């Protein structure tokens, strides 16, 4: 899109507050944000809340929270349509006075009857224009309809799809003001875009059929048309429209699942847009590179595994000090914190050691918990396969070797394991796995010496001794009260 860098481009994100900010809406907001930042323009936030039955304050808060979490700031607004009702009524009556709109008192029963007749004849179920030339008493209940031009080709150049043409003959004389004076969507949107001087309307292609309805209203109000760009749909893995059956669609649900906002932004921008073969972008790069020329016209397929891969990348490359506040949010309250948990540097070290093995903050919290809290849970499968009587004997020998150490360092721990391995003719991996399960409760962790250093001397030895005792108990004795899991306290 050949716009100068000092363009006065004005775009808007205009959600309806009838639910949470979902992935499709977030991508629309992101593309508008990036276009405004790239061209040094203005992003307007507009809340289209005229649907009084479905719009809620909770949804408004959820949308604003989602935008803030993704760091998609706006320049003007938020503007609320319910605060602009007088303006819609003013322009609706302006069109009425110019003969470009008319009053209609057709009852719902009559409208339904005419639609059924049209369908039986194989015709579009559109309003038949009965009130176009009638004089309807202004004091009687009525709506105001826009007089859609007849026999007109409505043509516009979509910045993504190219030239599109529609026949006005298939369009209704749409209602612009309801009986109670509330505006309809297509009318309020046009008035807002005119008043807010929107130059580019970037929205999902589920709105593409609204564009030929809106263009004649722009023209009737003698306003310049914005440029339109309709973003292709996001499909689920089965190539149907993304919905709840494909998993979470709410932006904040991904926050709760432990995703980083920069990972989700990076993933959303690649759903339909590309820059050469690059996959990972900083915020600065996105602003620098983004334009609509490289937005595709085909639907994009949401791939949860790709999002997980991206999130793991951002986790791995995030400094520990940035992850600690997020880690704290994911952890349950620490009932008996380890002594080192009082040291902020310990939290950073835990985050730095574990982030490379985690795909989400939830996983990071699960990995981190044994190094912050006295209690830890042993995975029942690991308990069954690893904490066997044979490995119990191995753990006893390791416990003895570790207790003899005067210093608890990586080098001294390595020497102790080496001595036990030589005595028992076992490799490091054969020694490390039962110790790993004993100390962390899991079969996956950082290197065994890092594990022991993070847990500390006293906790490590207490957990190893507890694992020795468990290894001598029959598997059937495992406590069943917590779905086969057992919390062990030192």
168-181: per-residue pLDDT in tens? Answer: 878 889 999 999 99
Q: What are phi and psi of 49, to 5 degrees?
A: -110, 30
Residues 49 and 94 placed together within one structural domain of the fold: no
- What is the per-residue pLDDT across 284-297, written as a single tens digit (0 to 9) for each? 999 999 999 999 99
Residues 346 and 401 placed together within one structural domain of the fold: no
Residues 471 and 364 placed together within one structural domain of the fold: no
Residues 100 and 214 placed together within one structural domain of the fold: yes
pLDDT at 251 over 60: yes
Residues 106 and 208 placed together within one structural domain of the fold: yes
- What is the per-residue pLDDT across 181-192, written as a single tens digit (0 to 9) for each? 999 999 999 999
Residues 91 and 227 placed together within one structural domain of the fold: yes
Range 471-486 burial, b when 16+ CB lie within 10 A, else e: beeeeeebeeeeeeeb
With beta carbons less than 8 A apart as the criterion, state whether 131 and 96 touch.
no
pLDDT, position 124: 75
Residues 221 and 140 placed together within one structural domain of the fold: yes
Which residues pair with residue 153 across a beta bridge? 167
185, 168, 176: which is closest to 101 by C-alpha? 176
| Nearest-angstrom CA–CA distance, 327 and 365 | 6
- Whether 244 maps to a domain, the answer reads yes
pLDDT, position 479: 45
* pLDDT band at residue 4 under the 50/70/90 scheme: low
The count of structural domains within the chain is 4
pLDDT at 94 over 90: yes
Question: Given 354, 374, 394, which residue is the final one in a domain?
Answer: 374
Residues 387 and 449 placed together within one structural domain of the fold: yes
Residues 265 and 296 placed together within one structural domain of the fold: yes
pLDDT at 486 over 60: no
Q: What are phi and psi of 195, to 5 degrees?
A: -65, -35
Q: Which residues contact 130 (CB under 8 A, 6 or more apart)?
A: 104, 106, 114
Residues 181 and 109 placed together within one structural domain of the fold: yes
pLDDT at 374 over 70: yes
Question: Given 374, 394, 422, which residue is the final one in a domain?
Answer: 374
Comparison of pLDDT for 111 and 273, the residue scoring more: 273
Comparison of pLDDT for 7 and 140, the residue scoring more: 140
* pLDDT band at residue 87 under the 50/70/90 scheme: very high
- What is the per-residue pLDDT across 239-250, written as a single tens digit (0 to 9) for each? 888 877 777 789
Residues 125 and 219 placed together within one structural domain of the fold: yes
Comparison of pLDDT for 185 and 115, the residue scoring more: 185
- What is the per-residue pLDDT across 35-67, written as a single tens digit (0 to 9) for each? 999 999 999 999 999 988 899 999 999 999 999
Q: What is the mean pLDDT of the chain?
A: 92
Q: How far is CA 132 from the centre of its chain?
A: 46
| Nearest-angstrom CA–CA distance, 327 and 348 | 10
- Whether 356 maps to a domain, the answer reads yes
Q: What are phi and psi of 236, to 5 degrees?
A: -80, 175
- Whether 313 maps to a domain, the answer reads no
pLDDT at 434 over 50: yes
Averaged pLDDT for residues 137-164: 94
H helices of 45-158, in order, are 57-69, 85-97, 108-120
Q: Which residues contact 404 (CB under 8 A, 6 or more apart)?
A: 416
| Nearest-angstrom CA–CA distance, 478 and 377 | 12
pLDDT, position 317: 97
CATH number of the CATH domain containing 408: 1.10.10.350
- What is the per-residue pLDDT across 311-341, written as a single tens digit (0 to 9) for each? 999 999 999 999 999 999 999 999 999 999 9
pLDDT, position 199: 97
pLDDT at 229 over 80: yes
pLDDT, position 476: 59
Question: Given 253, 288, 307, which residue is the final one in a domain?
Answer: 307
Q: What residue numbers bound the domain in which 285 lies? A: 10-82+234-307
pLDDT, position 482: 37
| Nearest-angstrom CA–CA distance, 1 and 6 | 14
pLDDT at 415 over 90: yes
Residues 427 and 460 placed together within one structural domain of the fold: yes
- Whether 4 maps to a domain, the answer reads no
Active site positions, annotated:
244
pLDDT, position 5: 54
The count of residues in the chain is 490
- Tell how strand 153-158 and strand 162-167 pair up: antiparallel
């Amino acid at each position: 899109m050949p716009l100068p860098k000092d363009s006065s481009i004005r775009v808007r994100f205009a959600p309806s507050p009838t639910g949470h900010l979902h992935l499709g809406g977030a991508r629309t907001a992101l593309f508008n944000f990036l276009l405004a930042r790239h061209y040094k323009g203005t992003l307007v936030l507009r809340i289209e809340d005229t649907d009084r039955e479905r719009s809620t304050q909770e949804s408004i808060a959820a949308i604003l929270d989602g935008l803030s979490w993704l760091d998609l700031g706006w320049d003007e607004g938020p503007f609320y349509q319910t605060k602009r009702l007088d303006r819609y009524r003013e322009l609706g009556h302006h069109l009425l006075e110019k003969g470009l709109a008319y009053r209609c008192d057709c009852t719902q029963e009559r409208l339904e009857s005419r639609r059924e007749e049209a369908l039986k004849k194989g015709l579009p179920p559109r309003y038949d224009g009965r009130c176009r030339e009638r004089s309807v008493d202004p004091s009687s209940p009525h709506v105001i309809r826009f007089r859609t031009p007849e026999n007109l080709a409505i043509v516009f150049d979509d910045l993504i799809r190219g030239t599109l043409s529609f026949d006005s003959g298939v369009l209704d004389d749409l209602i612009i003001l309801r009986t109670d004076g509330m505006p309809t969507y297509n009318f309020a949107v046009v008035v807002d875009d005119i008043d807010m001087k929107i130059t580019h309307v970037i929205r999902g292609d589920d709105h593409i059929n609204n564009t030929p309805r809106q263009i004649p209203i722009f023209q009737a109000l003698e306003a310049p048309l914005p440029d339109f760009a309709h973003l292709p749909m996001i499909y689920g893995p089965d190539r149907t429209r993304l919905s709840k059956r494909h998993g979470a669609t709410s932006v904040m649900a991904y926050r709760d699942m432990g995703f980083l906002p920069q990972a989700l932004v990076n993933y959303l921008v690649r759903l339909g847009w590309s820059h050469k073969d690059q996959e990972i972008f900083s915020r600065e790069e996105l602003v620098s590179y983004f334009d609509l020329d490289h937005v595709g016209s085909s639907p994009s397929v949401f791939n949860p595994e790709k999002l997980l891969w991206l999130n793991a990348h951002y986790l791995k490359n995030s400094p520990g000090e940035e992850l600690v506040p997020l880690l704290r949010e994911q952890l349950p309250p620490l009932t008996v914190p380890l002594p080192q948990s009082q040291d902020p540097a310990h939290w950073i070290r835990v985050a730095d050691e574990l982030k490379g093995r985690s795909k989400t903050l939830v996983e990071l919290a699960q990995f981190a918990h044994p190094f912050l809290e006295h209690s830890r849970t042993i995975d029942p499968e690991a308990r069954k396969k690893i904490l066997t009587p044979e490995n119990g004997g191995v753990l006893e020998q390791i416990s003895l070797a570790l207790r003899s150490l005067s210093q608890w360092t990586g080098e001294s721990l390595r020497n102790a394991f080496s001595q036990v391995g030589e005595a028992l003719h076992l490799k490091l991996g054969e020694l490390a796995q039962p110790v790993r399960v004993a100390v962390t409760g899991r079969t996956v962790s950082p290197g065994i010496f890092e594990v022991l250093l993070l847990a500390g001397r006293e906790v490590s030895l207490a957990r190893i001794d507890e694992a020795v005792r468990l290894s001598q108990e029959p598997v059937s004795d495992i406590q069943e009260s917590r779905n086969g899991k057992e919390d062990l306290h030192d």
